[in-house]
Amino acid sequence: MSDPRIIVALDYASAAEAQQLVARLDPARCKLKVGKELFVSAGPAFVAGLVDQGYGVFLDLKFHDIPNTVAAACRAAAKLGVWMLNVHALGGHAMLSAAREAVECVPARPILIAVTVLTSMQDEDLAEVGMMGTAQEAVSRLAQLSQRCGLDGVVCSAREVAQLRRERGASFLLVTPGIRPAQAATGDQARVATPREAIQNGASYLVVGRPITQAPDPLAALAAIQREIEFK
């Protein structure tokens, strides 16, 4: 399996807890996502360690700052050897373009994707911060901007994936969290899709946290999801 479609979210408070799970997984079967909590507590050395263990790492730090600062952060992330990283599309054209140029600093550049609208934001939250139109319209607009600036894709919810696949074409990456295998508990995720639904609707990669991290046998849970997405 050369390019696993499943990205396991390492939502842990410390390197030790995360490493316990990592030791039970397999880089040939999944990629790993490191977000703000684990990055702040465990640091870049931990990320580099995951890369050394052979994992594709999605560094989910959602950079959003002036172009120069974001470019410098993207360069630093690229040099850690991560497979994928992300920025906020709301940073605008200059920031997105600077990020895209910055990741070229290494021979095999990481994939660069954008967050469009946080799924915690409803239409009224957007109006409150001065954004016109619906969240869905903002998602479409920001995905288009991201593609125009040369980004490889966006993070999007299962609800958005079919429309974005139609609008942005076959090669734009759509990375989808909120995935729950058919029998699993939804937890605090309101809009969920099964792995199969998400892939059928056009998701490129699935971000899966608790259904794997809280499973008694994480590798078996991963294998079950894998089987579900291979069954077309």
Could you list the active site residues? 62
29 vs 160: CA distance, rounded Å = 26
227 vs 232: CA distance, rounded Å = 10
CA distances to 18, 32, 66, 231 from 117, rounded to whole Å, are: 28, 23, 18, 31
Q: Say how many C-beta atoms besides its own lie within 10 A of residue 2's C-beta.
A: 4
Least Å distance, CB 179 to ligand C5P, is 6
Q: Are the beta carbons of 20 and 10 closer than 8 angstroms?
A: no
**Closer of 119 and 147 to ligand C5P (Cβ):** 119
Least Å distance, CB 101 to ligand C5P, is 26
Least Å distance, CB 48 to ligand C5P, is 20
Q: Enter the tokens of residue 13.
A: 């408070």
Amino acid at 90: L
Closest chain position to ligand C5P (CB)? 209
**Closer of 165 and 210 to ligand C5P (Cβ):** 210
Least Å distance, CB 161 to ligand C5P, is 12
**Closer of 86 and 147 to ligand C5P (Cβ):** 86
**Closer of 141 and 159 to ligand C5P (Cβ):** 159
Q: Per DSSP, what are the bridge partners of residue 115? A: 88, 155
Q: Is the dihedral of CA 156, 206, 36, 216 positive or negative?
A: positive
- Write out the residues near ligand C5P by the rule CB under 6 A: 9, 11, 35, 119, 155, 157, 177-178, 187, 189, 207-210
Q: Are the beta carbons of 221 and 228 closer than 8 angstroms?
A: no
